[in-house]
Amino acid sequence: MARRRKMDPERKAFINSLLEHYQPKDAQDIQDMLKDLLGETLQGMLEAEMDDHLGYSKYDYKNKETDDSRNDYSPKIVTSSMGTIDLDIPRDRKGDFEPQIVKKNQTDISNIEDQVLSMYAKGMTTRDISAHLKDVYGVDASAEMISHMTDRILPIAKEWQKRPLEGKYAIVFMDAVHFHVREDNRTVKKAVYVAIGVKLNGKREVLGMWVGGNESAKYWLSVLNEIKNRGVEDIMIVSVDGLTGFGDAIHAVFPQAEIQRCIVHQIRYSTKFISYKDLKPFMADLKLVYKADTEDLALTALEDLEEKWGKKYPASIGSWRNNWTQLSTYFKYPSEIRKLIYTTNSIENFNRQLRKVTKSKTIFPTDDTPFQDALSGNDGCYKKMDRKGLGLGSDTGSVMHLFWGSDPARGYRLSIDPITYQG
């Protein structure tokens, strides 16, 4: 049974008097009543501000101790969450009066802008937002006006993109997601380059997003240099896809970093050559490779895989052989750590969030638009990522330490408390 809301007797009497005066018949009448009350309240507050400014009430000339006085009104229309409201802004003869309840250049007294950013962050188009504001609040806001509101995110985005970073990161995931952008009156495909770092305290952080042409190792090199210039001195492990030349670009900037190619990407690549009837048994044999307890056992399983399938599918087996150095990095670490670093799932989860808030926008008007989407409102996907820890679960022991592997002299480690850092 629902609990009945209790109301203060004085408040109840006040509301009853309002209802008796306005006699609303439906929800729209109540909306109009509240809009009227808001307008009258604001007008009264403006008059009170003028009284306070001059030091005497209207027509109370006995207490006047100033040579300043009222000087008529200026009409003003403001936008509220209940629609537009007409106000008369008091003026003084000296022109010194500065109203505070509704400032001189203020035309919006609602949280409309915040609502716009929130709707934009959820993937609504500017035209959808405009129609929603009209239907719900009676506010006429063109798509162009909405665009101006969302543009206020850009300075924040640019500041965020240039912020200093930590000196050392345990793991950095790098990947790209592709969008269509309007450029020079034509539509071109561009890549949003994304880098997510795991700090030494176990927390994840979106290092940045960069918009460039189609994904290339050359552009990743510029991204890595920017990351370094923002304060990053060393990275333990970089988890990447199989883009040609990516490893060379990483070592050019961070020569001590270990590289882990994404196992999931590798599986997708190697299985595209496999016929459907062979796919299930092939995957069963392949699983023995990447799920092995040690690298030696993995290599033995890879030899067995090659012996059984190598003649029929040489390209699939060859891709594992040729890239084994970067595919096998995770075997150096405990099993609890492996699932963190052998796939770029962390960054792909972020990319899914980015696609979620941009799904209604098949073509972006500018390169800046993906930034606006990612950073808009409380639902900005970078904020969701930053709030999460490693998500290792509670079965990994009380505390684990990820050391530098073959180079312990580098002298620092990642400590993970799964109780604190459950995702």
Alpha carbon distance 41, 43 (integer Å): 5
Same domain for 196 and 55: no
Does a structural domain hold residue 223? yes
Higher pLDDT, 153 or 205: 205
Q: What is the dihedral of CA 215, 217, 218, 220, to 10 degrees?
A: 80
Same domain for 183 and 141: no
Closest to 305 measured CA to CA, from 293, 291, 325, 288: 288
The CATH number assigned to the domain holding 222 equals 3.30.420.10
Task: State residue 108's pLDDT score.
Answer: 75
Mean pLDDT along residues 374-387: 46
Alpha carbon distance 341, 345 (integer Å): 9
Count the domains in the chain. Answer: 3
Does a structural domain hold residue 309? no
Alpha carbon distance 393, 216 (integer Å): 35
Mean pLDDT along residues 394-418: 44
**Confidence band, pLDDT 50/70/90 cuts, at residue 101:** confident
**Confidence band, pLDDT 50/70/90 cuts, at residue 305:** very high
Same domain for 250 and 187: yes
Task: State residue 285's pLDDT score.
Answer: 95
Please check the confidence at residue 145 and state whether its pLDDT lies above 60.
yes
Least confident range from 75-89, 113-127, 178-192, 224-238: namely 113-127
Same domain for 145 and 84: no
Please check the confidence at residue 229 and state whether its pLDDT lies above 90.
yes
Does a structural domain hold residue 300? no
**Confidence band, pLDDT 50/70/90 cuts, at residue 401:** very low
Task: State residue 153's pLDDT score.
Answer: 63
- One-letter amino acid for residue 69 of the chain: S
Task: State residue 411's pLDDT score.
Answer: 52
Task: State residue 235's pLDDT score.
Answer: 93
Task: State residue 125's pLDDT score.
Answer: 66
Neighbours of 216 (CB within 10 A): 18
**Confidence band, pLDDT 50/70/90 cuts, at residue 385:** very low
Same domain for 233 and 371: yes
Does a structural domain hold residue 313? no
Please check the confidence at residue 308 and state whether its pLDDT lies above 90.
yes
Does a structural domain hold residue 268? no
Closest to 375 measured CA to CA, from 127, 154, 130, 73: 154
Element (H, E) at 39: helix 27-54
For tokens 């027509």, what's the residue?
59
Percentage of the chain beyond pLDDT 90 is 25
Same domain for 141 and 118: yes
Higher pLDDT, 192 or 147: 192
- The two tokens of residue 184 are 């020079």
Least confident range from 36-50, 145-159, 201-215, 367-381: namely 367-381
- One-letter amino acid for residue 264 of the chain: V
Neighbours of 126 (CB within 10 A): 22
At 259, give phi and psi (nearest 5°). -110, 130
Same domain for 172 and 43: no
**Confidence band, pLDDT 50/70/90 cuts, at residue 387:** very low
Does a structural domain hold residue 134? yes
Same domain for 68 and 136: no
Higher pLDDT, 157 or 283: 283
Long-range contacts, stretch 392-401, CB < 8 angstroms, 24+ apart: 392/336, 392/340, 392/416, 392/418, 392/421, 392/422, 392/423, 393/418, 393/422, 394/418, 394/419, 394/422, 396/336, 397/336, 400/334, 400/336, 400/337
Alpha carbon distance 393, 400 (integer Å): 12
Does a structural domain hold residue 317? no
At 76, give phi and psi (nearest 5°). -150, 140
Element (H, E) at 83: strand 83-92
**Confidence band, pLDDT 50/70/90 cuts, at residue 403:** very low
Task: State residue 276's pLDDT score.
Answer: 92
Domain of residue 136: give its range. 112-150
Please check the confidence at residue 292 and state whether its pLDDT lies above 90.
yes
Same domain for 181 and 138: no
Same domain for 61 and 24: yes
Q: Let me know the angle formed at the C-alpha of 372 by 166 and 363, rounded to the nearest 5 degrees.
A: 125
Same domain for 182 and 143: no
Please check the confidence at residue 47 and state whether its pLDDT lies above 70.
yes
Does a structural domain hold residue 271? no
Task: State residue 402's pLDDT score.
Answer: 47
Same domain for 231 and 135: no
